[in-house]
Amino acid sequence: MHDHTAKPQTKAEPSTRVFAVLAEFPSGDEMLEAARKVRDAGYTKWDTHSPYPVHGIDEAMGIRRTILPTIVFVCGLTGALTGLALQWWTSSVYYPVIVSGKPMFSLPANIPIIFELTVLFSAFGAVFGMFALNGLPSLYHGIFNSGRFNSRMSTDRFYISIEAADPKFNRDSARKLLESIGGQSVEVVEERAAVEFPPMLRKWGITALLVLGAFALLPPLYTLRARTRTSEVTRMQLIWDMDQQPRFRAQMKNPLFADGRAMRPQVPGTVARGEAFADDHLHRGLVDGRFAATNALPVTESLLQRGRKKFDIYCAQCHGLDGLGQGMISVRAERLQEGTWVPPLSLHDEVVRTREDGHIFNTITNGIRTMPPYGDQIRVEDRWAIVAYVRALQRSQNATLEDVPSDRRGELP
């Protein structure tokens, strides 16, 4: 609208309302005295203003003790528990990695993080809790509509303001009270009825935001450009040392060592974790240098089930599911008339039946004739499980009446 008559209307005095009654005091002590009287008069929405913190103002204003310490304590406790849970879950549940040979979950190693998170959460609780309790951030406060307040509050004067929002508020009685308790230059502070954005801020603020926003877009745009193009220029290396680390790669020479090898051979006698093979019975099937007569593990139903599973995976291809030597590979090799093929021995053969458990274990581990070794493929416990299952298979083919439980012998045909 370009109507000239509209202009005076926008310039017209906006309607105002009372924000507070304000009184000035020359010293902190006088303000403190007066504050006690305002408190005793029963006002609830009122405030004191001072250039510096005044001791005893909490008591004089009747302010209750803040709940901030409780907030901080709860935040700190949350931080401690978060730190504990975070480390427990990441390091021992989700991605368990052994570090320095310590247990997956070890409290001493976790304490520093727990401590840091306790401090961090407490600090957040203290800062943001203080903001929230004080109603911050606040971009507008009605008291700044007083010119006198603006010019002297932060230098050498003390003020008490009783706000219109107080349920007891009455312009005249508030004024009378403040004057009676020694308040000087008592004034009624008025504010605009509708809070407006200052035109200056609106004009320049929006421009500044747009310019800043445009600048903020530059880095992602630059990244986008780099990602969609190819270039012959070497990529920018901001931290050169990190991109070009001096190090020896596999098969390189290293003059530091007498043999010139960068890849270092193992120190003689090195044993990898869990590969000490200290137990002769368990790892070699030997007892006193002879094949062990018994299984190295206690034979249980679950061990037999495990053995059956592994047997069906690794052994049945040649030996057959029943152990008679009619596995798919053997059958096919015979059909193709392979000259080198030696058919596997039936596991029910007297030779195998009389062999010790340790001997069978040794055969699985190291192989025999054309049978390859399985020591690298099947875990040691599983090899013993297979031995136990082979024993069960043999028994199934050579069972006597005594093997059937006496109460179920009647079911036999």
Residues that bind other proteins (CB under 8 A): 28-29, 32, 53-56, 69, 73, 100-102, 108-109, 111-112
The smaller minimum CB distance to other proteins, of residues 108 and 246, is found at 108
The smaller minimum CB distance to other proteins, of residues 76 and 142, is found at 76
CB of residue 160 vs other proteins: minimum separation in angstroms?
Answer: 17
The smaller minimum CB distance to other proteins, of residues 22 and 117, is found at 117
The smaller minimum CB distance to other proteins, of residues 20 and 32, is found at 32
The smaller minimum CB distance to other proteins, of residues 55 and 227, is found at 55
The smaller minimum CB distance to other proteins, of residues 93 and 99, is found at 99
The smaller minimum CB distance to other proteins, of residues 129 and 142, is found at 129
The smaller minimum CB distance to other proteins, of residues 100 and 406, is found at 100
Whether residue 25 contacts residue 184, with contact meaning beta carbons closer than 8 Å, is answered with yes
Give residue for tokens 């929405």: 45
Gap between the Cα atoms of 118 and 123, Å rounded: 8
CB of residue 26 vs other proteins: minimum separation in angstroms?
Answer: 16
Give kind and range of the element (H or E) at residue 191.
strand 184-192
CA max distance for the chain: 124
CB of residue 349 vs other proteins: minimum separation in angstroms?
Answer: 55
CB of residue 39 vs other proteins: minimum separation in angstroms?
Answer: 17
CB of residue 117 vs other proteins: minimum separation in angstroms?
Answer: 15
CB of residue 203 vs other proteins: minimum separation in angstroms?
Answer: 43
CB of residue 25 vs other proteins: minimum separation in angstroms?
Answer: 15
CB of residue 377 vs other proteins: minimum separation in angstroms?
Answer: 36
Sign of CA dihedral 273, 356, 361, 400: negative
CB of residue 95 vs other proteins: minimum separation in angstroms?
Answer: 20
The smaller minimum CB distance to other proteins, of residues 117 and 387, is found at 117
Dihedral of the alpha carbons of 348, 352, 353, 356, in degrees to the nearest 10: -150
3-state SS of the chain is CCCCCHHHHHHCCCCEEEEEEEEEECCHHHHHHHHHHHHHCCCCCEEEECCCCCCCHHHHHCCCCCCHHHHHHHHHHHHHHHHHHHHHHHHHHHCCCCCCCCCCCCHHHHHHHHHHHHHHHHHHHHHHHHHHHHCCCCCCCHHHHCHHHHHHCCCCCEEEEEECCCCCCCHHHHHHHHHHCCCEEEEEEEEECCCCCCHHHHHHHHHHHHHHHHHHHHHHHHHHHHHHCCCCCCCCCCCHHHHCCCCCCCCCECCCCCCCECCCCCCCCCCCCCCCCCCHHHHHCEECCEECCCCCCCCCHHHHHHHHHHHHHHHHHHHCCCCCCCCHHHHHHHHCCCCCCCCCCCCCCHHHHCCCHHHHHHHHHHCECCECCCCCCCCHHHHHHHHHHHHHHHHHHCCCHHHCCHHHHHHCC
Nearest to 18 by CA among 164, 185, 187, 178: 164
CB of residue 115 vs other proteins: minimum separation in angstroms?
Answer: 8
The smaller minimum CB distance to other proteins, of residues 66 and 184, is found at 66
CB of residue 31 vs other proteins: minimum separation in angstroms?
Answer: 12
At 391, is the secondary structure helix, strand, or coil? helix
The smaller minimum CB distance to other proteins, of residues 54 and 86, is found at 54
